[in-house]
Amino acid sequence: MGKVKVIYGSTTGNTERAAKQIAGAFGVEPLRIADATAADFEADLLILGSSTWGLGELQDDWVTRISLLESANLSGKKVAVFGTGDQSGFSDTYCDALGILAAKATARGATLVGKTSVNGYVHTGSLAETDGQFCGLALDDNNESEKTSARIAAWIEQLKQ
């Protein structure tokens, strides 16, 4: 599989918990985007996580350091995105951050992997959704935290294939 990096931004710890579970499955330590450098974006599989804040915005640390992603050379690299949001409270912007990260990564030449079905979610709109699929792993610890761990486990299996 090559080198795997997990880089995330999290304000209240939800996305951080997910990042730890994901990174652990690949035998690596997750890295906060606040601590990341350009060299950290050199990986064969780059797994990027962000919660969504404001109305459909990236988590704050990602906002500050987004130039790292915008200037990364990702051609020939795989990128997967994940994050937490609130599909009931922010139904129209659910997990928008995933869509923002995915668009920026593909603009830098990455191949996006790890799409998932929107089946079972009740949101009404998301930048992360196209044709019945999320561009990555959408988690919701506000409304269905009991599903998070299994969703992560299934996604990891998908990424490892």
Ligand X SMILES: Cc1cc2nc3c(=O)[nH]c(=O)nc-3n(C[C@H](O)[C@H](O)[C@H](O)COP(=O)(O)O)c2cc1C
Length of the chain: 161
The span from the CA of 108 to the CA of 62, in Å, is 17
Closest approach, Cβ 91 to ligand X, in A, equals 8
Between vectors from CA 107 to CA 97 and to CA 130, what angle results, nearest 5°? 50
Strands 45-50 and 31-32: unpaired
Considering only CA atoms, which of 141, 40, 1, 36 is closest in space to residue 82?
141
Our CB check for ligand X shows the closer of 11 and 71 to be 11
> Could you say which residues in the range 99-128 bind ligand X, by CB under 6 A?
none
Show the binding pattern over residues 48-67: x = contacts ligand X (CB under 6 A), - = does not: ---xxxxxx--x--------
Does the footprint of ligand X cover residue 136 (CB under 6 A)? no
State the DSSP string of 80-111: EEEEE--TTTTTTSTTHHHHHHHHHHHHTTPE
Does the footprint of ligand X cover residue 90 (CB under 6 A)? yes
Does the footprint of ligand X cover residue 141 (CB under 6 A)? yes
Closest approach, Cβ 15 to ligand X, in A, equals 3
Does the footprint of ligand X cover residue 148 (CB under 6 A)? no
Query: Which residue in the set 142, 143, 144, 158 belongs to the binding site for ligand X (CB under 6 A)?
Result: 142
Positions in the binding site for ligand X (CB under 6 A): 10-16, 51-56, 59, 84-86, 90, 93-96, 141-142
